[in-house]
């Protein structure tokens, strides 16, 4: 299948856009040790006996424990051990006399997403429930495991589209300052938050559970983690499913530089086309170009005059400016199930901005006060929501509005530590200038990334090639916004023995587990029998559901058995977290 490359329309080759300088491009944190190969595990870690306790509702049948891992796998006797939170769900019919025959690990991506919910989530997939012990874990740095933090780090409140030198200077300054906050808040742990360390944590969990081989389902940034586990521990690789793929055969920069085109495609070709089709109900424009013009007019209005509103009897204040609008749209590109909520929010913000322009802040606040409590709660939730995979534009430091930044800090550490980045302002600004005019939704944000100023550990990881491995099943939708389809095609072409399952007419990020019945059948057959497609295959998408006449987003959102796969996993994680101390 043909696909658009990053350089289409730019007058450049892809290599020109994605080139990363070689040695000397980055400095190194001398405190970190090179971990470019697996290390023999010290007996003190192999001899531990995790204490498993029930976590979450009894119906989930989930047990959680913490295991001890070294801070640095290359220096296991240095002290300062870490704690990794692990979850497991056994088949309902298993017993000591009839234990599970296989184990399947899962990771939700991020990178840095807490993953305790993967155990009950994978166990909820009926074909896996018969023979697999399902396992999830919070990777080092995040969730209930030993945390890192970048608390206090400056965020990006500036408009990335603004090319004024002063604005560009502020963005560069914020990016450059980030690492010092991350280091000061993370108690020396920051250099050890790498994929090289995490895959060895995973393998220790496998050994403690008593399995020789591991099956695996990794989403988004979890595809990177899965490919590196395969590279470090090829003898223990079972059936690996990599869903919504990074290009794990290249650098993190390659993956992030491919996002602007993918987000723009999803917004213009999927959302705007869908919204125009249902203009009689949504009132955003009768053609895709009219929908885009509605967005651009609203963006200009909110930049000129942000709307600062109080919700829930002044209990919560939300500022709607151009950045809030862009982030709201980008977040809602991950799953088509959010399209109706996004359309409703755009119409609300358009009317709110118009009321403020005509009648001032009080008129705008009256519109908010007239909303039902449920609708206000939903608007606050969506203003605080985070994307369910790789963040658009690479990085958005400064924590989240709920105050817990461990996931964001882990994301930053892994993406900046793992692979080399060109250093200084020049490359990021050139990249933004190339991509922004063509893909403005997130293209201009390429400069908003601490990795261009990051002092890396002295780390060189082996490049995943797939050689000598069992078949790897890669799953990808063609309009995925966060992990461009081109990335999956690129990685697949260099990953020996891989099979690519393409879902056409689909753009959801995270496919396995309810997005596409055809894809689920292929994945379940592979995980339960080991039978992979003989060649690359495709499944037709099932389309974007029509909007209903009901106001979207007011249904119960705290459950964990509905919605997009990554959202279900987040719900399961919330349900089983908090039981370990």
Mean pLDDT for the chain? 90
SS3 content of the chain, % helix, strand, coil (to 5): 40, 15, 45
3-state class (DSSP) for residue 143: coil
Round to whole Å and give the CA distance between 196 and 225: 9
* Whether 232 contacts 453, CB under 8 Å: no
Give the residue-averaged pLDDT of 506-532. 97
Question: Which pLDDT does position 37 carry in this prediction?
Answer: 82
Quick one: how many helices (H) and strands (E) in the chain?
Answer: 20, 14
Least confident of 96-110, 191-205, 472-486, 542-556: 542-556
Long-range contacts of residues 94-99, Cβ cutoff 8 Å, at least 24 apart: 94/133, 99/133
Question: Both tokens of residue 84?
Answer: 């990794």
| Count of structural domains, the chain | 1
Does the residue 48 lie in any domain? no
Judged by average pLDDT, the poorest of 14-18, 172-176, 198-202, 513-517 is 14-18
Q: Quick one: pLDDT band at residue 32, thresholds 50, 70, 90?
A: low
Neighbours of 419 (CB within 10 A): 24
CA gyration radius for the chain? 23
Contact 142, 110 (CB under 8 A): yes
Model pLDDT, residue 391: 76
Residue 393: predicted pLDDT: 56
Alpha helices per DSSP H over 19-135: 43-46, 118-123
Please tell me whether residue 525 adopts helix, strand or coil conformation: helix
| Helical ranges in 258-395 per DSSP H | 259-265, 273-277, 279-282, 288-304, 322-331, 339-359, 361-369, 373-384
| Cross-strand partners of 89 | 134
Is residue 167 one of the residues assigned to a domain? Answer: no
Report d(CA 73, CA 26) in Å as an integer: 23
Q: Are 104 and 527 in contact (CB under 8 A)?
A: yes
* Helix (H) or strand (E) run with residue 103 in it: strand 102-107
Q: State the average pLDDT over residues 257-272.
A: 98
Q: Which of 23-32, 402-411, 486-495 has the highest mean pLDDT?
A: 486-495
Q: pLDDT value at position 28?
A: 37
Q: How confident is the model at residue 562 (pLDDT cuts 50, 70, 90)?
A: confident
Model confidence band, residue 328 (pLDDT cutoffs 50, 70, 90): very high
292, part of any domain: yes
Nearest Cα residue to 537 out of 494, 511, 504, 502: 502
Say what percent of the chain tops pLDDT 90.
84
Predicted confidence at residue 397, as pLDDT, reads 42
The residue whose two tokens read 């063509």 is 438
Q: What pLDDT, on a 0 to 100 scale, did the predictor assign at position 551?
A: 66
Per-residue pLDDT at 394 exceeds 60: no
Per the domain annotation, does 317 fall within a domain? Answer: yes
> 452: which 2 tokens?
């261009």
Lookup result for tokens 């360390």: 197
H helices present in 385-477, as ranges: 406-418, 425-435
Distance CA 296, CA 344 (A): 16
Closest CA to 217 of 140, 135, 144, 142: 135
Task: Decide if 271 is inside a domain.
Answer: yes
Residue 306 has pLDDT above 60, yes or no: yes
Mean pLDDT of 507-526: 97
Report, as an integer, the average pLDDT of 488-515: 98
Neighbours of 497 (CB within 10 A): 13
Instruction: Classify residue 279: in a domain, yes or no.
Output: yes
**pLDDT above 70 coverage of the chain, percent:** 90
Is 308 inside a domain boundary? Answer: yes
- pLDDT tens for 399-410 read 333 337 999 999
Per DSSP, the residues of 448-468 read --GGGG--EES--PPPP--TT
Amino acid 30: pLDDT: 44
Mean pLDDT of 35-51: 92
3-state secondary structure 536-581: CEEEECCCCCCCCCCCCCCCCCCCCCCCCHHHHHHHHHHHHCCCCC
Report how far residue 181's alpha carbon sits from residue 190's, in angstroms, rounded to the nearest whole number.
Answer: 11
Give phi and psi for 6, each to the nearest 5. -60, -35
pLDDT band at residue 390 under the 50/70/90 scheme: confident
Q: Is the pLDDT of residue 34 over 80?
A: no
Q: How do residues 53-85 score in pLDDT, each as one tens digit?
A: 999 999 999 999 999 999 999 999 988 999 999
pLDDT in tens, 105-140: 999 999 999 999 999 999 999 899 899 999 999 999
Residue 383 is predicted with a pLDDT of 86
The pLDDT-based confidence of 25 (bands split at 50, 70, 90) is: very low
Alpha helices, H only, 210-321: 221-232, 252-257, 259-265, 273-277, 279-282, 288-304
What pLDDT is stored for residue 22 in this prediction? 35
Q: Which of 13-27, 77-91, 266-280 shows the lowest mean pLDDT across its residues?
A: 13-27
pLDDT tens, 216-243?
999 999 999 999 999 999 999 999 999 9
* Domain assignment of residue 369, given as a range: 259-381
Distance CA 472, CA 304 (A): 50
Domain-located, residue 580 = no
Residue 8 pLDDT level (bands cut at 50, 70, 90): very low
* Residue 17 or residue 99, greater confidence: 99
């Amino acid at each position: 299948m043909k696909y658009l490359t990053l350089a289409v329309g730019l007058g450049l080759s892809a290599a020109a856009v994605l080139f990363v300088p070689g040695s000397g491009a980055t400095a190194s944190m001398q405190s970190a040790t090179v971990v470019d190969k697996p290390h023999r595990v010290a007996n003190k870690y192999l001899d531990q006996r995790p204490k498993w306790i029930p976590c979450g509702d009894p119906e989930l049948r989930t047990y959680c424990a913490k295991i001890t891992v070294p801070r640095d796998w290359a220096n296991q006797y240095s002290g300062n051990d870490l704690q990794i939170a692990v979850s497991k769900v056994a088949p309902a019919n298993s017993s000591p006399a009839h234990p599970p025959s296989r184990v399947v690990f899962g990771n939700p991506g991020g990178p840095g997403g807490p993953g305790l919910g993967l155990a009950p989530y994978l166990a909820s997939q009926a074909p896996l429930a018969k023979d697999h012990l399902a396992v999830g874990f919070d990777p080092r740095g995040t969730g209930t495991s030993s945390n890192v933090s970048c608390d206090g780090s400056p965020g990006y409140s500036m408009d990335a589209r603004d090319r004024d030198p002063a604005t560009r200077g502020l963005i560069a300054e914020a990016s450059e300052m980030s690492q010092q906050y991350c280091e000061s808040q993370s108690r020396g742990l920051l250099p050890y938050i790498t994929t090289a360390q995490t895959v060895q944590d995973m393998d220790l969990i496998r050994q403690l559970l008593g399995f020789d081989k591991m099956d695996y389902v990794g989403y988004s940034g979890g595809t990177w983690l899965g490919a590196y586990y395969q590279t470090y521990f090829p003898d223990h690789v079972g059936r690996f499913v990599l869903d919504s793929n990074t290009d794990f055969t290249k650098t993190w920069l390659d993956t992030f530089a491919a996002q602007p085109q993918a987000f723009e495609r999803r917004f213009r070709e999927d959302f705007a086309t869908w919204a125009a089709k249902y203009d009689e109900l949504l009132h955003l424009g009768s053609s895709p170009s009219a929908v885009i013009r509605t967005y651009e007019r609203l963006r200009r209005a909110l930049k000129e005059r942000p709307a600062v509103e109080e919700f829930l009897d002044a209990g919560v204040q939300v500022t709607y400016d151009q950045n809030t609008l862009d982030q709201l749209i980008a977040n809602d590109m991950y799953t088509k199930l959010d399209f109706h909520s996004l359309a409703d929010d755009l119409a609300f913000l358009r009317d709110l901005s118009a009321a403020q322009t005509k009648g001032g802040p009080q008129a705008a606040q009256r519109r908010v006060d007239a909303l039902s409590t449920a609708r206000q709660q939903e608007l606050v939730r969506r203003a605080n929501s985070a994307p369910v995979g790789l963040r658009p534009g690479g990085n958005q430091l400064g924590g989240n509005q709920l105050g817990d930044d461990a996931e964001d800090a882990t994301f930053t550490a892994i993406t900046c530590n793992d692979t080399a980045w060109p250093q200084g302002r020049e490359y990021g600004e050139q990249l933004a200038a190339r991509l922004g005019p063509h893909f403005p939704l997130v293209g201009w944000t390429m400069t908003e990334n601490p990795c261009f100023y990051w002092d890396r550990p002295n780390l060189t990881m082996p490049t995943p090639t797939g050689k000598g491995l069992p078949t790897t099943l890669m799953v990808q939708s063609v309009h995925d916004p966060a992990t461009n389809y081109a990335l999956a095609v690129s990685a697949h072409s260099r990953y020996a023995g891989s099979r690519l399952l393409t879902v056409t007419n689909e753009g959801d990020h995270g496919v396995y587990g309810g997005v596409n019945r055809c894809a689920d059948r292929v994945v379940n057959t592979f995980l339960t029998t080991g039978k992979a497609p003989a060649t690359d295959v495709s499944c037709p998408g099932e389309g974007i559901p029509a909007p209903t006449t009901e106001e979207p987003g007011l249904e119960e959102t705290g459950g964990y058995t509905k919605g997009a796969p990554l959202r279900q996993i987040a719900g399961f994680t919330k349900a089983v977290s908090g039981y370990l101390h």
